[in-house]
Chain A
Amino acid sequence: MSDPQPQRRAGVVGVLCAAGFMVVLGAVTTRIIILQTHPPTELAQFVDDRTSSWEVEPIRGDLRDRRGRVVSTSRFEYRLVIDPVTFPSEPDRAIVQLAEVTGLPMAELGSRIITTLGENDIRRRMLDEWNAPDRSADEPPKTKLGRFLQQVGLTPPPRDDTGQELTAWASEAGSPPPMIRYLPFKPLVDLETANAVRLLRIAGVSFDRVAVRDYPGDATAAGLIGKVGFGHVGLLGAEITFDTELHGEPGLVRYVRDDGGRPLWVGSGDWKNPVRGDDIRLSIDLELQRIALDELRRGITDAGAAGGRLIMLDPASGEVLAMVDEIVTDVEAEPFPFIKLGEENANGPAPEVDPDHENWPRYQVVRQDPKRAIHPALGRNRCVEDIYEPGSTFKPFVWARAHAAGLLGDTEKIQIADARNYRTPYGRRLADVTRRAELSWDEVLLFSSNIGMSQVAERLEEKDLRNLVHNLGFGSPTGLGLPGEATGLVTNARDWTEYTQTSVSIGYEIGVTPIQMVRAFSAFARSGDLAGTMPQVRLTAQSADDPIGNLVERVYDPETALRVRATIEGVAKRMDANRERTVENPVEANYRLFGKSGTSKIAVSPPPGYGLPKYGRGYFEKQYNSSFIAGAPFDEPRLVVLVIIDDPAPELVRIGHAYGSWVAGPVVRRVMERSLRYLGVDPDMPQSDLASGG
């Protein structure tokens, strides 16, 4: 075939060339459409991976007391952060300036910065060594073709490591440590200082905004309010109980970043404002809390006690108005000689206590709580976390049940032939503090007769008493919401004996928490038809939306509740009479109290891993929890107060002045007087009584 015409030859080549180009353009177009509409799955991660986001911490809501006083609130402070990589390499001047403006100690500031600069120099050298250009060529080929070509010898094999050796450290670690870029300093500074530092325009200096929690209420209610921990998250107390509500919703900023990860801009719709957390109005009243703390401390001091607890509850709403837990750290008491299990016969004689229980020193009965010293909120809240045996304060519950069942005749009298040496039908020895040969059922409660109560218990069926205990909420948490709440100890049906029946009727063999006690006692302190029911205890102030009755379950009929109230008013009167007789300048009683004292032995409970010493028994000898629980005013009770004085001084025990009505009762009276007056409650004590009381 002869060559075509010259023009034609060029034309043909040109057309072929252009046609080839069209094919390429077609292929490229197809490829673009495929990439833009259906990118390969492997590619997808590289397409989407151009934005990052950071959470904007919401401002935590405030905790307020029931009257709106702020007890816990958040604000921002600023943490000085230095990036040693960009910090001036001649740091002296910058360090001096920083120290002057921030007030941070220059020595610490300087030594940390300079040390880190030195460390970074070392790391930079390591990294340079690691990133030396001849390293990458040594890496084996990562693709199949690369490996193939290497195998057939078309590319040189990896060189031997005869060149520059990595340091042993870097070889072992795989790669050198990264440069230090974040060097935070304490303490935090305020915005003004931070701005002053910014004006210095020192490279590598920045500030982190840090939320700080303030507690304007000081330590008055620290144990109840709790504390926030790392990350401004509730850690203890009400802070953790209401953490969800307080925390708020974090905001979100989604931003486009460059290859270095630096944020470039925030696209429209990529900013979500943080929602401030809700404020929580707690049920406590800071003033009542302060009164409670004052009076409890005074009571503890007066009694020379090792500690004390107080709970004030509004029986109508179940709101906890005050809650105090005090431990005396410098009380003169010996640690109890528990035996470490597994080391009974180890070196030396085994620890023991006095075999006759006569020469009994004052032992430490309140477990020490060293964390309290760090921060009051860190301590255990013994009002909800620790159980105790309520003793005589438990008697009204059992008495009321028997009375409601018609087992206690109004005119019936019980005869106690030998109050010194009384034995129950099954042979258990019991004794009374106030010994009387004849007692009416009312007097059994009034004089807190153990013998009388044992007879009450005999008239009740075991199942009946057991149900009562459960109905009163013992053995199950109150639902207050504070962390670590104890459920209490209630003997189960299988182990429930006649011995238990008697013990429970006088407040032993049952472990309760103070909060359970005040809730149960509220059954006697609610008004009208609600008398005999228990409220749901709560840590938040009642609002208009909440059900007013706050009824949990009826335990007694109203008549029984009022009957108990009337009966135990006598106990309060006896306490007051005693108080007025023995205390100098006693507080004037303006409100009719109804209450019950209790003085219970303290159970010896070995810590985990320890056992009782030789001759040790279940209870501490001559060491007591003296408590008093009461409600007031009489007709429309507004408050229920429980005071427990832990381990009154041995001197008081010796002279018989350590009973609940001696050490705890006056505290309850004083708290009631001051609190009810603060609440504006009209005094209900009859004028004649007032006169005599004055």
Chain B
Amino acid sequence: MLRTGHIVVLCALALLTLGVVMVNSAEMAVSPMTPEAAALNAGVTQEGVTFQSIATSTAAKHMLMALAALTVAALFPVGLLRRAVGRVGQMFSPLVLLSVGVIVLVGLLATVYWSPIARPVNGSNRWVTVGPIQSIQPSELGKWFLIWLIAAYAVWVGRERLAKFWVGFVPAVVAIGIVSAFVVLEDLGTGVLMATAASLVLLAAGGRVLHFALIVPLGLVGIGAAIIQNPYRIQRVSSFLDPYADPQNSGFHMIQSMATVAGGGVTGRGLGNGLQKFGYLPEDQTDFLFAIISEELGLAGAMLTLTLYAVLVWAILAIVRRQDDPLLRLGALGIMATIVIQASINLIVVTGLGPTKGIALPLLSAGGTGWILTAACLGLVVAIDRCSRPVQSAIDEIADDQSDDLQTPVLA
């Protein structure tokens, strides 16, 4: 029988496959023609893109690793995790555990400054090198870890205490704030993503809306400060408002991205036939891969991609809603929220609806760490699905939701 988890796997598989193909297409290099007679190899791809070349590409290897991670995670006995978290919660104070979690996280994130393994790129400390693996983004790992930390914290403190501002809410917010602020130093987008996703988990766990209403403006001020503190972020915002003021510099990326989306037209230029990847669109294999998809596959390709995300998100949502255990439910919700927010920011940026911000499109943008970790998290969602209630009860619940009868008891 097709379970919801299977849908998640299928969506992940489809997105990763699309990712591998499109990353290879975007990587394509063509040897320039020369006006001389020796132009026999003009217009021939330097390293021909064939099925074999795609199958042996780095992206394909990453995909295999991601699928392996997904499989392993899907087989992970989440019951153990639940019990372990519960047991630890009984042994230590939630605040102690939260503090330890934050310290571990910050320590993890701080590795980007630790010179033996740090690997700065373009003056930005986001990557580390561990052994043969060239570039790992600790913030990618921290992103998921924070969600589970907040979810665990919510389980440890319990709903009643979480609803209390000082003893329940504030420590969590402080933890989120510290970790996110640490990420924001190097990567505003990921920091905001982490903070938002973790906040949603907190809200879902029972944090009061009123408290959020107090905290959110603070967060916005923080984001504003982070923008103003950095001239190039101001430039990005101002060039978003008028990209054509300086099309060769500050507006370049945004204009090229929109031109890429527009260039394909409704039918697209055809797979592999995109033009913008030849040096016009920066970051075409990573953050702006969706623009290449729109250019080469047209509206249909873009719609397919968006549909896959929509199905994936709704499938995870169904799993969330069927799950009784608070930790697993919050964890799955956090995973969903992360994917939603990350995809939203990316899509908004790529289509020029928001200021340029480098953030990967989950499961599509080239990036081994991102693919493997996202796939692993989706594997966890599958594992969570496996230990949830039968489907029928979830359907009942959805039906119940749609009625106004809030008094209907929920089956345990």
Contact = CB atoms under 8 A, between A and B. Distances in A.
Interface in B268-296: 275-276, 278-280, 294
Contacts of B323: 7
A266 B32 CA distance: 11
Contacts of B351: 28, 31-32, 35
Interface string A23-52: 011011101110111010011001100100
Interface stretch (B15-23, B57-65, B86-94, B198-206): B198-206
A230 interface: no
B147 to A, nearest CB: 13
B259 A255 contact: no
A10 B321 contact: yes
A144 B238 contact: yes
B216 to A, nearest CB: 14
A126 B253 CA distance: 28
A155 B275 CA distance: 37
Interface of A: 3-15, 17-18, 20-22, 24-25, 27-29, 31-33, 35-37, 39, 42-43, 46-47, 50, 54, 136-137, 141-146, 149, 154-156, 198, 206-207, 255-260, 262-266
B235 A256 contact: no
A33 B353 contact: no
B234 to A, nearest CB: 6
B194 interface: no
Nearest to A147: B238
A156 B231 CA distance: 8
A689 to B, nearest CB: 67
24 contacts: A3-B163, A7-B324, A10-B205, A10-B330, A13-B333, A14-B204, A18-B336, A20-B344, A21-B310, A21-B340, A21-B344, A24-B343, A25-B347, A27-B353, A28-B353, A35-B258, A47-B263, A141-B235, A144-B238, A198-B36, A255-B33, A258-B278, A259-B279, A259-B280
Contact of B238 (A12, A143, A255): A143
Interface stretch (B48-56, B299-307, B365-373, B379-387): B299-307
Contact of A36 (B256, B262, B340): B262
Interface in B326-361: 326, 329-330, 333, 336-337, 340, 343-344, 347-348, 351-353
A36 B247 contact: no
A32 B299 contact: yes
B148 interface: no
Interface stretch (B100-108, B138-146, B174-182, B312-320): B312-320
Q: How large is the interface on B (under 10, 10 to 19, 20 to 34, 35 or more residues)?
A: 35 or more
B309 interface: yes
Nearest to A56: B35
Contacts of A28: 306, 347-348, 351, 353
B340 A47 contact: no
A27 B343 CA distance: 13
B140 to A, nearest CB: 21
Given A14-B321, A21-B310, A264 B256 contact: no
B302 A32 contact: yes
B388 to A, nearest CB: 11
B255 A46 contact: yes
B246 interface: yes
Nearest to A21: B340
Given A7-B323, A21-B310, A36-B266, 17 more contacts: A6-B329, A9-B204, A13-B333, A17-B336, A17-B340, A21-B309, A36-B294, A36-B299, A46-B255, A46-B256, A50-B275, A144-B241, A145-B237, A259-B280, A262-B32, A263-B33, A264-B278
A29 B255 contact: no
Given A18-B314, A46-B256, A207-B36, A7 B321 contact: yes
